Structure 1
Amino acid sequence: MTQNSPSEAWAARAAIAAAATTMVLWASAFVSIRSAAPHFSPGALALGRLLVGVAVLAVIMGLRREGLPPRAAWPGILISGLLWFGLYMVALNWGEEEVDAGTAALLIGIGPILIALLSGYLLKEGFPTRLLAGMAVSFGGAAVVGFATADSGDESSVMGVLLCLVAALGFAGGVVSQKYALKHATPLQATTFGTGVAAVATLPFAYQLVTQVADAPAQATLNMIYLGAFPTALAFTTWAYALSKLSAGNLSATTYAVPALAILISWIFLGEVPTLLAFLGGVLCLAGVAVSRSKPRSRPAQAEAPAESAAAAEATAAGEPTAPAAAGPEAEAGAGPPSGTRAATTSATAPASGSTAESGSAPAAGQR
């Protein structure tokens, strides 16, 4: 079994660290959205977040002196920018106004499953058993969290459910499209220009953003800036880096850690003590992620052929006589017939010559 080189091992650890950073920042976004959403419409909040993200990413691009992505990367960048950075954010913000947070989390939990299916078929990543099993466990945990955090006093509207499903579809399509883009562009390029595409697509909400920023409290505006700088600019870049190193299916499974981390962050910063059911759901989410990231035990390598057999095969191919395997009558018999018999055999198969030893030890050209 081959071992990874030190550089490959370092890249794998860096990808896992990048994915973990993304999950923590995305989980923190739920706390900030809760503060900002009452003061901004879904489209205005998405546009403000994207504009801040583009500004931060543009500065980083300038410092790193990265230019435009190659032409081959643009289809993936355009699609991921429209579906994920744009449609997903607007649909999710809008959907969460129509349904409770638990229902929204449950419906968005369909996204990683769709990513696994799409990447398995379109990206030829296959359908690993452990990945699918881990996603099933994590989705069950997300369902438990959704049930625990659902507001029994509110009825989820059909429009809200549809919007959350649209957000899940945008998430899945955007990730698969970004995977294609990362074959040609760097993670920073894919994130920066994908965010820019989404910002342009959401410009129709510019008037709402301007008027609502003027009326919103400072804390809500600061939370919107935080959403753009960290859960958008930084987290989407670390996500793109991890996606360039890992399969889309395996990476998407880690997003099931977000509900558990969001519960923990709300507990620490907002003092919202989770219910026992929500805690158990979070544990299930993390357990499913662990299963999906686990690797099957490697089977022992098959025993190699004995050295003697390999040497004998090489000697036969080279036309050299092989050494007897063991002493005894069988070995003597295998060493060859007496010289007289050898000569008789040679004379029956080829004209007599003085080189009977060669004709008895080397195969004919046709046998080679």
Structure 2
Amino acid sequence: MTQTPQENNNILAILAPGTFVLIWSTGFVFAKMALPYAETMTLLATRFLIAVGLLLLISFIWKAKWPKTLMQTVHIAMAGILLHALYLGGVFASIELGLQAGVAALIVGIQPLLVAFTAGIFLKEKITIRQWVGLFLGVSGVILVVWAKLENGLGTPLGVSIAVIALFGISIGTVYQKRFCGEMDLRTGAVIQYTAASIPTGILAYFTESMTINWTGEMIFAMFWLVVVLSVGAISLLYVLIRKGAASKVSSMFFLVPPTAALMAWVLYDETFRSTALIGMAMTVFGVALVNLRPIKRLGLRTRPS
């Protein structure tokens, strides 16, 4: 029996947001897979430049629109530096410094909380009692998990600090993009953002790293996943979701990212969470859910692919 276009749209609305969240979650475990073969900034600069080439091709094939003014381009580039260079650079560097992938995912996973409160301050959105409760639970849960991990020698204070910097990068970048890049085409915008992000990461790689990559089979697979599946595939899926009006459902499911990433890290790298850390993760997930299920939808904020 042939399905109607409406039925196909309903299936997309149900399955695609969960698929996007699942793909987003893989970014943390594939970062850990790639880092033994390349230093952080070298890995990211290479990833960004490969993604630029693929997205340029996609933009020309689909005849995507480019920004009309120089100021629009500057705003998109600035958002890209915050969302990719600062956020991804922080996540990758924290994992390279020994922070578990699941813990890194949990720390930056409270991004919807900071976005809601940053929007409340700068965009004059009302902050509700439920949001305050969610913020308290989310932050308390992260502190509990980090304390438990550091007490057991899993990670370093420096790695945690860099992950927190990444958290602020994606939180401020999300609000910045909403404020200044609302009309951005996700394909050409991604070209500009990845190009902009490749500049500071490339400079840091040149002055602080050896800029060598060991192209093993595992490294090639990890780079393929990071570029094609995440940087290109996720951005394309998000573009479809936005056109179909389902982007808000992605935001409402964002609280599932930390436990999903932690489960993947447990399967692939035997990263475990003991009772205290599990309680902390549950608190954080519930706190983010309290904030995220309605207020983020109201704000219309877009979840960024990693």
- Using structure 1 for the length normalisation, give the TM-score: 0.62
Partner-residue secondary structure (3-state), 2:212: helix
Query: Letter of the aligned partner of 1:86 in structure 2?
Result: A
Q: Which runs of 5+ in 1 are unaligned?
A: 1-6, 297-368
Match of 2:61 in 1: 63
Which of 19, 22, 25 matches 1:24?
22
Identical counterparts, % of pairs: 24
1:294, distance to aligned residue in structure 2 (A): 4.4
1:240–1:67 distance in 2 versus 1, CA, 3 Å: closer
1:264, distance to aligned residue in structure 2 (A): 2.3
Point out the more displaced range, 229-238 or 145-154: 145-154
Point out the more displaced range, 231-240 or 190-199: 231-240
Which of 32, 35, 59 matches 2:33?
35
1:269–1:140 distance in 2 versus 1, CA, 3 Å: same
1:164–1:200 distance in 2 versus 1, CA, 3 Å: same
Partner-residue secondary structure (3-state), 1:226: helix
1:143, distance to aligned residue in structure 2 (A): 4.2
Residues 138, 287 of structure 2: 8 Å contact kept:
yes
Aligned partners of 1:59 and 1:132: how far apart in 2? Answer: 45
Residue correspondence of structure 1 range 204-353 to structure 2 within 5 A: 204=203, 205=205, 212-213=212-213, 215-236=214-235, 238=237, 254-269=253-268, 275-294=274-293
Q: Which fold has the larger relative contact order, with Cα–Cα distance below 8 Å and residues 6 or more apart in sequence?
A: 2
**What is the count of residue pairs matched by the alignment?**
283
Residues 133, 288 of structure 1: 8 Å contact kept:
yes
Q: Which runs of 5+ in 2 are unaligned?
A: 1-5, 296-306
1:151, distance to aligned residue in structure 2 (A): 6.6
Query: Letter of the aligned partner of 1:56 in structure 2?
Result: L
Match of 2:73 in 1: 74
Match of 2:198 in 1: 199
Aligned partners of 2:155 and 2:258: how far apart in 1? Answer: 22
1:61, distance to aligned residue in structure 2 (A): 1.5
Match of 1:347 in 2: none
Aligned partners of 1:240 and 1:120: how far apart in 2? Answer: 26
1:241, distance to aligned residue in structure 2 (A): 7.1
Query: Letter of the aligned partner of 1:264 in structure 2?
Result: L
Match of 2:48 in 1: 50
Aligned partners of 1:232 and 1:181: how far apart in 2? Answer: 22
1:36, distance to aligned residue in structure 2 (A): 0.9
Query: Letter of the aligned partner of 1:184 in structure 2?
Result: E
1:189–1:155 distance in 2 versus 1, CA, 3 Å: closer
- Using structure 2 for the length normalisation, give the TM-score: 0.73
Partner-residue secondary structure (3-state), 1:124: coil
Residues 190, 240 of structure 1: 8 Å contact kept:
no
1:111, distance to aligned residue in structure 2 (A): 3.6
Residues 191, 240 of structure 1: 8 Å contact kept:
no
Deviations 1:9-66 (A, max 9, x none): x79x84x866534421221112211111112111011112212322332232122111
1:131–1:23 distance in 2 versus 1, CA, 3 Å: farther
Match of 2:304 in 1: none
Match of 2:168 in 1: 169
1:262, distance to aligned residue in structure 2 (A): 0.9
Query: RMSD of the TM alignment (CA)?
Result: 3.8
Residues 53, 228 of structure 1: 8 Å contact kept:
yes
Deviations 1:106-162 (A, max 9, x none): 5435543332222122233332443443444444444454455557235724x4344
Residues 84, 174 of structure 1: 8 Å contact kept:
yes
Match of 1:124 in 2: 124
1:295–1:167 distance in 2 versus 1, CA, 3 Å: closer
Aligned partners of 2:292 and 2:83: how far apart in 1? Answer: 24
